[in-house]
Structure 1
Amino acid sequence: MKNSLSRTAKLLRQNFQKYLRSLNRWFLDTPERALLEAYQAAQRIKNIETEHFDSKKISSQSVKYTENVMSYWQVYLNKNLTIIKIRLAEFQLSRGIINISNPVLLEKLKVIDEVVEKYAIKYETIDELSLSSTYQPLNINEKEIKKKLKIPNIDEIKVKPPIQKTGAAPSSIGRRINKIQADFAPQTEEEFVRNYRISKGRTIIALRFLIVLIIVPLLTQYLSKELIVTPILERVRGDNTTKIFINSDMEKEALHELHNFQEALRFEYFINQAPPISSELTQEKIKSKAIEISEEFSKKSNSSISNVFADLISLFSFGIVIAMSKREIVILKSFMDTIVSGLSDSAKAFFIILFTDIFVGFHSPDGWEVLLAGFAEHLGLPADRNLIFFFIATFPVILNTIFKYWIFRYLSRLSPSALATLKEMDE
């Protein structure tokens, strides 16, 4: 028995050492591998330029293509540029840890720099110019305006009303006629279609980015846990029966389950629904159940420890997505502002009361308690009741104070009617 255990331990040690060596080789090859993938992406962009854009930049100004064709090439371009950015960041990070010197790498870096410099300023999609112009803030320097116009005080400018003539027709009718004329102007339809395309493209980008923000962390957490963290943890811990439970709550739960099993055996015996069994057979059943419970809680402990590392990896991937998506963040913020501003005052007041009652309302302590207990179980931490109650007694109060200050400071200026509706609904 001891020889078999020693052979098994030796085999596990050899497999773990082999895995560490392969992992070390993979880590040492990271700079060259990352640079190779970035170089291949740059070569794909250069091939497209040569074959379809007369060796010019991939743009609607280089070659006249239809909108659908340009949209296809733009998606292909953005995909390869994203690969270049990610792999270059990986190359720089790994190169700071691993010292390498290879003249071939310099040639690849030159090719990559040519592509990056060409597309570093901005990407020209079909409606990119009009789309990006929507989000560029207009900086007005009042002193420069005064200097150029040679006016001592800009407040002294008297703007004449648009309609100075008085006649039989009121000014409102004139404005209505001008609006009708503008609606029938030849360029009105083109302007409407252009604005519609800009709004459609902005909505698609915002929704796609919102989906990415949700899917990428969840998928990263699941894949890293199942493929990386859990296998390494199982090899490190092995079949160590002395470290089944990682906190006292798990141990109490396992003992409670075993105690319930013993009581069930006694109950079956006393009500004569089961034949009398010997004490040896009873002990064998209890031992088998204890082994089953230990295996179950050993897997649960491994899963809790794996969740900690997988969550950190998921948080890191979320930070990378945020850091590389500044343009998408601006578009998403504008999209959310449009949705919020489109709500009626009653709808705004309804959602404000709904969220405040959920997080800082009368029934919110029960929700916070369930949420914190589930989070502690997810990370394998003991659910300390005193700590949970202390959090519930402080954090919702702070959150409520911040929210009331926001209502007093900003909502009264952004939407006074929504504030009045909110006060009436609260009363």
Structure 2
Amino acid sequence: MKNSLAKIPALLRQRFKQNLRSFNHWFLDTPERALLEAQQAAQRIKNVEIEHFGNKKISPESGNYTENVMSYWQVYLDKNLTIIKIKLAEFQLSRRIINISNPILLEKLKVIDEIIEKYAIKDKVISNSALLSTPQPLKINASEINKQSDSYDINDIRPTPPSEDTGVFPSSIGKTVNKIRANLTPQAEEEFMRNYRISQNRTKIALRFLIILIIVPILTHNLSKPFIVNPILERIRGDNKIQIFLNSDMEKEALHELHIFEQGLRFEYLLNQAPPLSSEVIQEKIKDKAREMADEFYLKSSSAISNVFADLISLLSFSIIIALSKREIMILKSFMDTIVYGLSDSAKAFLIILFTDIFVGFHSPDGWEVLLEGIAEHLGLPGNRNVIFFFIATFPVILNTIFKYWIFRYLSRLSPSALATLKEMDE
């Protein structure tokens, strides 16, 4: 027992020496560690410039992005610039105590210099000879990175005066304090209500304009067809009912229906569910049915012709609305952007997969066939199977190529995380 108690001070001394050596080693590596972290932050900024801004400065002028996407990149830039500023301040403080002379640090400083000069967070270039000679304080003139407005405009970054010292704490703390202070001002509630009313009015305008874009063409078609197109068409065609069928498909449909009617009469007679009919009576019934079908297909042909002109009038009304509503179009675009960018990455990926599978997926040919046959019937055109199959064999392929190019070219820049989620869901 006494031997065990006697060993405790020796173990404590050994543990203390180990901790002291570890701390000493950590302290001596502080300059290199701080500079490495600053170099990594600068490299991250450089990678974003190469991948998303064409190797140019991260700014609205360098990339075609919306305000929400640009604010995302601005916050990412501010975060890494803050890391560079703090780590260079740590590097400066540690070099006052520790003398280092390592040529490898020069390569790291080159990457850092490129970024801090580009974004104006330094007014004086680091001297390379200072690392190889006697240790001198590293003077860095940092900018107020995070003291920007809520618009996240990168052009608001300004270099601080040379006499201003770099703080140890990130300036985001000051930004948070300023935001809290602004929320406590007497004008904060008035500003909030004003922004709320603007947003509410924009939403109302966008929804009203969207309803107009849908309702007006439909009403124009349904009103112009019976009151304008049909009277003009009936006056032109007159009582001439020689051209009953508009195309061969209508004629085949009428003959098929008449043949079924004739076979139905014979079937009823064979089942003894109807009294025996003479051939003259059967011919008279078939003749009456033919007259009835002739009137029916004559009206159907007239309706198909009038649909063409009614659709043109609806398209004209839609074009007039678009031409006279530039302000509403901009508001609607902003409203749709807010909805789309407000979705989560999983929701974006889900909608993209749903949309692409419907139009270019494995089962889409059947849907395209039904859609094209319906359009042909609406316009009174013959449903040519060769034309429909050729369209299905080419257009979805072109559409699929456009989707893939859009995903590769734009989605990777607008929402990289949504692109990653989309790839995972596809796999």
Which interval holds the TM-score relative to the shorter structure?
0.5 to 0.7
Change (3 A) 1:223 1:172: closer
Q: Which residue of 1 aligns with 2:213?
A: 213
1:71 paired residue number: none
Number of the residue aligned with 2:150: none
Alignment coverage as a number of residue pairs = 276
CA distance in 1, matches of 2:259, 2:244: 18
Q: Deviations over 1:343-366 (max 9, x none)?
A: 000000000000000111111101
The answer to whether the aligner puts 1:160 opposite 2:143 as a matched pair is yes
Say if 2:324 is the partner of 1:324. Answer: yes
Instruction: Say which is worse superposed, 162-171 or 317-326, in terms of deviation.
Output: 162-171
Determine if the alignment matches structure 1 residue 391 to structure 2 residue 377: no
Counterpart in the other structure of 2:22: none
- CA distance in structure 2 between the aligned counterparts of 1:249 and 1:205, rounded to whole angstroms: 46
Map 1:39-54 onto structure 2 (within 5 A).
Answer: none
After superposition, where does 1:110-129 map in structure 2 within 5 Å? none
SS in 1 for 2:188: helix
Shift of 1:188: 0.9
**Can you list the C-alpha shifts for 1:91-110, whole angstroms capped at 9, x where unaligned?**
xxxxxxxxxxxxxxxxxxxx
Provide the rounded CA distance (Å) in 2 between the counterparts of 1:345 and 1:410. Answer: 15
Aligned equivalent of 2:310: 310
Determine the structure 1 residue equivalent to 2:264: 264
Contact residue 120 and residue 143 of structure 2 kept, 8 A: no
Moved more, 263-272 or 237-246: 237-246
Structure (1 or 2) with the larger CA radius of gyration: 2
Matched, 1:279 2:279: yes
Q: Tell whether the 8 Å contact from 2:217 to 2:314 is kept in structure 1 after alignment.
A: yes
Return the alpha-carbon distance in structure 2 between the equivalents of residues 364 and 168 of structure 1: 60
Q: 2:358–2:364: 8 Å Cα contact kept in structure 1?
A: yes
* In structure 1, distance between residues paired with 2:266 and 2:300: 29
Q: Structure 1's 234 and 276: CA in aligned 2 closer, same or farther, altered over 3 A?
A: same
Map residues 187-202 of structure 1 onto 2, 5 A cutoff: 187-202=187-202
Aligned counterparts of 1:168 and 1:341: Cα–Cα separation in 2? 36
Other-structure match for 1:185: 185
Q: Matched residues, percent identical?
A: 75
Q: 1:351 maps to what in 2?
A: 351
1:15-34 equivalences in 2 (<5 Å): none
Change (3 A) 1:188 1:305: same
Cα deviation for residue 186 of structure 1 reads 1.1
Structure 1 segments unaligned to the other structure (5+ residues): 1-133, 135-152
Root-mean-square deviation over aligned CA pairs: 2.2
> 2:387 matched to 1:404?
no
| Structure 2 counterpart of 1:160, one-letter code | S
Q: C-alpha offsets along residues 157-183 of structure 1, whole Å, 9 cap, x if unaligned?
A: 756236877889875554433332222
The alpha-carbon distance between structure 1 residues 333 and 170, as it changes in their structure 2 partners (threshold 3 A), is closer
Secondary structure, aligned partner of 1:275: coil
State the alpha-carbon separation in 2 of the partners of residues 154 and 406 from structure 1: 31
> The residue matched to 2:275 in structure 1 has which SS?
coil
SS in 2 for 1:242: coil
| 1:227 equivalent in alignment to 2:227 | yes
Instruction: State how far apart, in whole Å, the 2-side matches of 1:175 and 1:237 are.
Output: 77
Please give the secondary structure, in 2, of the residue aligned with 1:240: coil
Q: Give CA-to-partner distance per residue, 1:1-55, whole Å, 9 cap, x none.
A: xxxxxxxxxxxxxxxxxxxxxxxxxxxxxxxxxxxxxxxxxxxxxxxxxxxxxxx
Cα pair distance change 1:346/1:280, threshold 3 Å: same
Stretch of structure 1 that moved more, 410-419 or 233-242: 233-242
Tell me the CA shift for residue 241 of structure 1: 2.9
Q: How far is 1:292 from its partner? A: 0.6
Matches within 5 A, 1:95-134: none
Aligned residue type for 2:314: S
User: 2:413 corresponds to which residue?
Assistant: 413
Give the TM-score of the pair, scaled to structure 1: 0.62
2 CA distance for matches of 1:355 and 1:400? 11
CA distance 1:396–1:187, change in 2 (3 Å): same
- 2:220 pairs with 1:237: no
Cα offset, 1:236, TM superposition: 1.9
**CA distance change for structure 1 residues 314 and 168 in 2, over 3 Å: closer, same or farther?**
closer
Query: Could you tell me how far 1:184 is from its partner in structure 2?
Result: 1.2
- Confirm whether residue 296 of structure 1 aligns to residue 279 of structure 2: no
CA distance in 2, matches of 1:240, 1:169: 91
SS at match of 1:243: coil
* TM-score normalised by length of structure 2: 0.62
- Mapped to 2, the partners of 1:422 and 1:386 lie a distance apart of 36
**Cα deviations across residues 59-104 of structure 1 (Å, max 9, x unaligned)?**
xxxxxxxxxxxxxxxxxxxxxxxxxxxxxxxxxxxxxxxxxxxxxx
- For 1:310 and 1:385, the matched residues in 2 are separated by 26
1:257, 1:171 → 2: CA distance? 82
CA shift for structure 1 position 279: 1.6
CA gap of 1:170–1:280, structure 2 versus 1, over 3 A, is closer
Indicate the SS of the match to 1:241. Answer: coil
Q: Which moved more, 1:306-315 or 1:176-185?
A: 176-185
Alpha-carbon spacing, 1:360–1:168, altered in 2? closer, same or farther (3 Å)? closer
**AA partner of residue 267 (structure 2):** F
Match of 1:376 in 2: 376
What's 1:342 paired with? 342
Shift of 1:284: 1.2
Structure 2, unpaired ranges of 5+: 1-66, 68-116, 123-141, 148-163
Instruction: Compare 232-241 and 356-365 and name the one that shifted more.
Output: 232-241
Contact 2:213 2:321 in 1 (8 A): yes
